[in-house]
């Protein structure tokens, strides 16, 4: 086996046996599966707690204006009970109380909510909306319009539901989800950021540890510095790819298990009515499906919309941009590890490396909303930000030539940075006890070329 191969094997085997690797390999798939299952579960679950709120109207104009919801119950009380409510509302079984002190058309600030804990935004917004609707109606009634109640009812019942349809090459149509596409874009972009930062830092720490323990002097007697650097970088990259592959496989297993638990026949009904008929026809054998029909219905919708996503293409692109981005940054991290004696001295050299990664997260947020914008395009071409920004754009199926161009620039960039880092690494790896400056690093770079 070649010397680089031996180093790769050593780096790989020692890291995959660590408890942290095993724990993260278990947690990751659970988080991925939750991305598909949690929205369905949250959509199907009911509200578990109910808040009881007292309402005191000192104007006697707004009786029963606030409507009850599944989680909020409002009780109107006489204004003469205000003093008692202020001191004993918790003992009376209320979680909060509302006081209306004046005509809201004259004083819009005359509503106050009292509670010993901050009220939820849902409670505040519900009360606000109910009063705004009532006051709008009151203003309209002042114009003496005939049939006002029917007009208002007709207006309030206006709703619009927008579906997004993905068109295939041969005119086929498939329902898609903008929200799900955005979630996938966010997940892949954050994974690139997480993997590059975490495993790039591991490269630096590994170099610093070997340098501090003086093991590096023994290793360098057997292999060339560049071979050591490349072996360490590739070995840690293989650890990261192994962990990601485990995440993908286990996530598929978990989601498939949930699918078959909900649909034992292996097929998701197109409508929940079909599912209920299937349960009834089975003589109650699949009663658990009927009991969780709301969850199953939401899960079905999410999975059908997920089929419209090019997940395979996104995963393949992830592998490429992770490897390219990792090699780009890992070489720089290795060079930093070579020029310092301990991690406490790394801040001045690591910060310029981390800043493009942080910037790319902010640009990715723009790309989630406008994947074709100029800022998203240009930062998906700059190699130090392209791995994250491009992964934020790819789920939106941008033009292929943009992806290819970004890949080509990234390949050329990591070849250059690896060469650049290698020239610094071979000198800095044997330097001890000296505070290094950027000027000194530049001298090492020029010296290594001689």
Residue-wise pLDDT tens digits, 330-359 = 888 888 888 877 766 677 788 888 899 899
234 assigned to some structural domain: yes
166 assigned to some structural domain: no
Angle, CA 364 vertex, CA 322 and CA 161 arms, to 5°: 120
Q: What is the pLDDT of residue 406?
A: 93
55 with 37, same domain?
no
- Alpha carbons within 13 A on the beta-carbon side of 437: 2
Q: What is the pLDDT of residue 302?
A: 55
140 assigned to some structural domain: yes
Q: Given 92, 126, 156, which residue is the final one in a domain?
A: 156
128 with 213, same domain?
no
Q: Which residues of 4-15 are buried (b: 16+ CB within 10 A; e: fewer)?
A: beebbeebbeeb
Q: What is the mean pLDDT of the chain?
A: 77
173 assigned to some structural domain: no
Q: Given 156, 186, 219, which residue is the final one in a domain?
A: 156
Kindly state the percentage of the chain with pLDDT values over 70.
Answer: 75
398 with 431, same domain?
yes
114 with 199, same domain?
no
Residue 382 pLDDT grade (very low, low, confident, very high; cuts 50, 70, 90): very high
167 assigned to some structural domain: no
79 with 222, same domain?
no
Q: Can you give the three-state secondary structure of 11-75, one letter per residue?
A: HHHHHHCCHHHHHHHHHHHHHHHHHHHHHHHHHHCCCCCCEEEEEEECCCCCCCCCCCCCCEEEE
Residue 209 pLDDT exceeds 90: no
31 with 139, same domain?
no
162 assigned to some structural domain: no
Say which residue, 199 or 305, is predicted with more confidence. Answer: 199
237 assigned to some structural domain: yes
84 with 223, same domain?
no
CA distances from 284 to 263, 266, 276, 287 (A): 14, 18, 10, 5
> Residue 398: helix, strand or coil by DSSP?
coil
* Cβ-based neighbours of 278, under 8 Å, separated by 6 or more: 265, 269, 286, 289
What is the arithmetic mean of pLDDT over 113-142?
A: 85
264 with 387, same domain?
yes
The verdict on pTM exceeding 0.85 is no
243 with 139, same domain?
no
Residue 272 pLDDT exceeds 60: no
237 with 366, same domain?
yes
- Give the structural domain span for 203: 3-41+178-448
82 with 185, same domain?
no
Return d(Cα 297, Cα 37) in angstroms, integer: 11
Please tell me the total count of domains within the chain: 2
46 assigned to some structural domain: no
260 with 398, same domain?
yes
DSSP 342-377: SGGG-HHHHHHHHHHHHHHHHHHHHHHH-TTSHHHH
Rg (alpha carbons) of the chain, rounded to whole number: 31
């Amino acid at each position: 086996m070649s010397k680089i191969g031996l180093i790769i094997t050593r780096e790989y085997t020692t890291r995959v046996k660590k408890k942290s690797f095993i724990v993260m390999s278990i947690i990751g798939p659970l988080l991925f599966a939750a991305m598909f299952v949690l929205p369905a579960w949250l959509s199907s679950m009911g509200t578990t707690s109910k808040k009881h709120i007292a309402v005191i109207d000192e104007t006697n104009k707004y009786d029963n204006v606030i409507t009850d919801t599944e989680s909020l119950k409002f009780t109107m009380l006489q204004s003469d009970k205000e003093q008692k409510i202020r001191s004993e509302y918790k003992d009376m079984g209320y979680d909060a109380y509302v006081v209306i002190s004046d005509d809201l058309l004259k004083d819009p600030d005359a509503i106050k909510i009292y509670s010993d804990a901050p009220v939820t935004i849902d409670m505040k917004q519900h009360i606000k909306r109910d009063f705004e609707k009532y006051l709008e109606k009151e203003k309209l009634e002042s114009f003496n319009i005939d049939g006002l109640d029917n007009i208002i009812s007709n207006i309030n019942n206006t709703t619009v539901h927008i579906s997004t349809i993905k068109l295939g090459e041969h005119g086929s149509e498939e329902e898609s989800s903008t929200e799900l596409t955005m979630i996938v874009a966010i997940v892949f972009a954050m994974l690139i950021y997480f993997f590059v930062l975490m495993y790039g830092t591991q490269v630096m720490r590994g170099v610093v540890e070997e340098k501090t323990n003086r093991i590096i002097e023994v290793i360098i007697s057997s292999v060339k510095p560049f071979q050591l650097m490349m072996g360490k970088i590739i070995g840690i990259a293989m650890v990261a790819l192994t962990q990601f592959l485990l995440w993908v496989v286990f996530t598929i297993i978990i989601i498939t298990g949930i699918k078959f638990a909900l649909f034992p026949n292996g097929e998701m009904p197109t409508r929940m009515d079909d599912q209920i008929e299937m349960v009834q026809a089975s003589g109650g054998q699949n009663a658990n499906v009927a009991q969780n029909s709301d969850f199953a219905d939401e899960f079905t919708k999410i999975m059908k919309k997920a089929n419209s996503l090019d997940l395979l293409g996104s995963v393949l692109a992830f592998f490429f941009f992770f490897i390219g981005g990792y090699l780009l940054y890992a070489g720089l991290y290795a060079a930093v590890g070579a020029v310092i004696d301990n991690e406490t001295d790394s801040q001045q050299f690591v910060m310029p490396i981390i800043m493009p990664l942080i910037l790319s997260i902010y640009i990715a947020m723009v790309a989630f909303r406008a994947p074709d914008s100029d800022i998203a395009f240009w930062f998906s071409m700059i190699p130090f930000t392209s791995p994250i920004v491009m992964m934020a754009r790819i789920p939106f199926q941008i033009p292929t030539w943009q992806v290819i161009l970004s890949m080509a620039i990234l390949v050329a960039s990591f070849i250059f940075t690896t060469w650049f880092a290698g020239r610094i690494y071979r000198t800095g790896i044997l330097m001890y006890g000296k505070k290094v400056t950027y000027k000194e690093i530049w001298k090492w770079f020029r010296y290594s070329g001689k």
